[in-house]
């Protein structure tokens, strides 16, 4: 099939590469010429396991191309995926500027009957807005489809190739049959394609992210309470996660959720609810709890230091908002670094993948270290923010000897409190010991 993907970021690039992998002829286009030029040379703008191989192979076999000529890419396509960003507007609602820009271009340049797929996360009603804009200029019939994307950064290729489910909001038999054919290779193990009306598909994406964010904030608050009452959140998590009605995923406490999706999607859904005058109090509380949680590592650090951080030098392990990605959008590490710098500390950082991204965001305000142990030199304390595998079994003696004071703040509950205490390390984690 002739596919065009407009917007070649985390989502568009994964979608394009995976659809090429199943034999489609895919054109990925973007307004960012530097990104496209890099991709033409198999230089990826993002770190995502498995993606580079997929891009290189499919580009070599000429099923995947990258370009900035959006009109030509539109003209040829049987299916167009809109995968541009939908950042939060000032009032929290999703900013649809890029989506509607693309819609206008599709209307102007369509060269055949086309299925237009909104892959970006967009509020209910967006597909209708896109259809209205396309329809003003379209010379050919077109069919809208809402196909929310559920991939997880860090496991995006696998998630796309082997999805739990595919959600498709369609209004025509043509869209239904084209999309069924396109997704057939990815659901051969019997995972469902769930067809629905377009508004329900649009809402499904927000409801899924809102539910996941709710679980995280819920567990973070339970963890904070555990510290006060002398309970251990790890045991509580196992105790509740083994209940089949609850399940074990997304129950790990931490320094607050970040990334490109949960914060903005929760905000956008709250905003939609306010516009509709439907109370969404649970979700408003989820957001407030997350904002508070992003201050917890700093509080824990000050508690362990027994003072504020002025003049202190702090080592941070982990900058990406989660492991296996270089994405730092809304990363908890950014909130911590802001607080540290604002209060007069200096910061040395390490991350296995996000250093380039961190340099772009933080410039020379912090130092960047080659290895995680380098970051400890002369530091007054270590804070572990991201649960990269490489941080799971460090040499604690080495940590203790390198730090000026043996203080470890563990934002991901990676280590055994008793073991670190036995080594003489002052150790704080989330929700596991009475504070």
Ligand X SMILES: NC(=O)c1ccc[n+]([C@@H]2O[C@H](COP(=O)([O-])OP(=O)(O)OC[C@H]3O[C@@H](n4cnc5c(N)ncnc54)[C@H](O)[C@@H]3O)[C@@H](O)[C@H]2O)c1
Cβ atoms of residues 129 and 96 within 8 Å:
yes
Cβ atoms of residues 236 and 226 within 8 Å:
yes
Question: Which of 67-92 are b and which e, b meaning 16 or more Cβ less than 10 Å from the residue's Cβ?
Answer: beebeebbebbbbbbbbbbbebeeeb
92 in contact with ligand X (CB under 6 A): no
Report residue 239 CA to chain centroid gap. 28
Of 260 and 372, CB closest to ligand X: 260
- Residue 24 CB, shortest distance to ligand X, in Å, is 19
Restricted to residues 248-307, the positions that interact with ligand X (CB under 6 A) are 260-261
Cβ atoms of residues 85 and 122 within 8 Å:
no
- Residue 397 CB, shortest distance to ligand X, in Å, is 38
Q: Judged by CB under 6 A, which of 1, 2, 9, 343 binds ligand X?
A: 9
Cβ atoms of residues 392 and 373 within 8 Å:
no
- Residue 98 CB, shortest distance to ligand X, in Å, is 4
- Residue 48 CB, shortest distance to ligand X, in Å, is 10
Query: What mask, x for binding ligand X by CB under 6 A, covers residues 139 to 168?
Result: ----------x-x-x---------------
- Residue 68 CB, shortest distance to ligand X, in Å, is 8
10 in contact with ligand X (CB under 6 A): yes
Q: Establish whether 261 is a catalytic residue.
A: yes
* Tokens read off for 21: 């992998």
d(CA 199, CA 94): 16
Q: Judged by CB under 6 A, which of 101, 159, 284, 338 binds ligand X?
A: 101
d(CA 110, CA 10): 25
- Site size for ligand X (CB under 6 A): 25
- Residue 9 CB, shortest distance to ligand X, in Å, is 2
Q: What DSSP letter does each residue of 376-424 carry, written as one string?
A: GTT-SEEEE-S--GGGSS--HHHHHHHSSS-EEEETT--S-HHHHHHTT
Q: Minimal CA–CA distance to 114: which of 130, 95, 100?
A: 130
Of 163 and 254, CB closest to ligand X: 163
Of 67 and 241, CB closest to ligand X: 67
Q: Judged by CB under 6 A, which of 3, 4, 5, 8 binds ligand X?
A: 8
- Residue 96 CB, shortest distance to ligand X, in Å, is 10
Of 27 and 420, CB closest to ligand X: 27
Of 261 and 420, CB closest to ligand X: 261
Annotated active-site residue in 28, 145, 226, 261: 261
Q: What are phi and psi of 76, to 5 degrees?
A: -85, -15
Of 8 and 349, CB closest to ligand X: 8
30 in contact with ligand X (CB under 6 A): yes
- Residue 126 CB, shortest distance to ligand X, in Å, is 10
Query: What mask, x for binding ligand X by CB under 6 A, covers residues 107 to 136?
Result: -------------xx---------------
* Tokens read off for 150: 């559920």
Of 83 and 170, CB closest to ligand X: 83
Query: What mask, x for binding ligand X by CB under 6 A, covers residues 52 to 91?
Result: -------------------------------xxxx-----
Q: Judged by CB under 6 A, which of 55, 100, 102, 382 binds ligand X?
A: 102
Of 7 and 431, CB closest to ligand X: 7
**Number of helical (H) and strand (E) elements in the chain, helices listed first:** 17, 14
Measure the N-to-C terminal CA separation of the chain; round to a whole number of Å: 60
Torsion of CA 380, 388, 351, 209, to 10 degrees: -110
d(CA 361, CA 238): 37
Q: Judged by CB under 6 A, which of 16, 64, 77, 98 binds ligand X?
A: 98
The single residue listed with the structure tokens 């939609």 is 272
Sheet holding 193-196, edge to edge: 64-67, 25-29, 2-6, 79-82, 114-118, 142-146, 166-170, 193-196
Using DSSP's 3-state secondary structure scheme, residue 254 falls into: coil
Of 32 and 52, CB closest to ligand X: 32
* Tokens read off for 148: 């929310």
- Residue 82 CB, shortest distance to ligand X, in Å, is 9
Q: Minimal CA–CA distance to 79: which of 115, 112, 26?
A: 115
Nearest residue to ligand X on Cβ basis:
9
Please report, as ranges, the residues that interact with ligand X according to CB under 6 A. Answer: 6-12, 30-32, 35, 83-86, 98, 101-102, 120-121, 149, 151, 153, 260-261
Q: Which positions are annotated as active-site residues?
A: 261
């Amino acid at each position: 099939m002739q596919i065009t993907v407009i917007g070649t970021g985390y989502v568009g690039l994964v979608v394009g590469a995976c659809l090429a992998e199943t034999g489609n002829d895919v054109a990925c286009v973007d307004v960012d010429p530097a990104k496209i030029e890099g991709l033409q040379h198999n230089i990826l703008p993002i770190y995502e396991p498995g993606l580079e191989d997929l891009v290189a192979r499919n580009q070599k076999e000429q099923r995947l191309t990258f370009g900035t000529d959006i009109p030509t890419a539109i003209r040829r396509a049987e299916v167009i995926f809109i995968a541009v960003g939908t950042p939060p507007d000032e009032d929290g609602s999703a900013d649809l500027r890029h989506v509607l820009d693309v819609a206008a271009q599709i209307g102007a340049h369509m060269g055949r009957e086309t299925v237009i797929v909104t892959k970006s996360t967009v509020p209910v009603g967006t597909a209708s807005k896109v259809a209205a804009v396309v329809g003003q200029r379209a010379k050919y019939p077109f069919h809208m489809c809402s196909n929310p994307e559920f991939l997880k950064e860090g496991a995006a290729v696998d998630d796309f190739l082997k999805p739990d489910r595919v959600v498709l909001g369609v209004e025509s038999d043509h869209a239904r049959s084209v999309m069924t054919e396109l997704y057939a290779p990815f659901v051969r193990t019997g995972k469902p394609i769930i067809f629905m009306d377009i508004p329900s598909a649009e809402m499904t994406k927000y409801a899924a992210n809102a539910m996941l964010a709710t679980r995280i904030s819920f567990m973070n608050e339970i963890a904070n309470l555990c510290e006060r009452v002398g309970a251990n959140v790890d045991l509580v998590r196992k105790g509740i996660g083994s209940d089949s009605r609850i399940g074990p995923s997304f129950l790990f406490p931490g320094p607050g959720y970040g990334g490109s999706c949960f914060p903005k999607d929760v905000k956008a859904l709250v905003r939609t609810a306010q516009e509709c005058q439907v109370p969404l109090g649970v979700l408003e509380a989820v957001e407030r709890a997350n904002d508070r949680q992003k201050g917890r590592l700093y509080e824990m650090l000050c508690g362990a230091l027994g003072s504020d951080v002025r003049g202190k030098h702090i080592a941070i392990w982990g900058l990406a908002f989660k492991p296996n990605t270089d994405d730092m959008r809304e990363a908890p590490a950014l909130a911590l670094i802001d607080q540290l710098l604002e209060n007069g500390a200096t910061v040395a950082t390490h991350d296995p993948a996000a250093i380039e991204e961190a340099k772009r965001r933080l410039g020379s305000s912090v130092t960047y270290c080659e290895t995680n142990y380098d970051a400890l030199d002369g530091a007054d304390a270590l804070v572990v923010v991201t649960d990269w595998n490489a941080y799971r079994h460090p040499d604690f003696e080495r940590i203790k000897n390198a730090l000026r004071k043996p203080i470890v703040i563990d934002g991901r509950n990676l280590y055994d409190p008793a073991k670190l205490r036995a080594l003489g390390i002052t150790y704080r984690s989330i929700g596991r010991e009475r504070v």
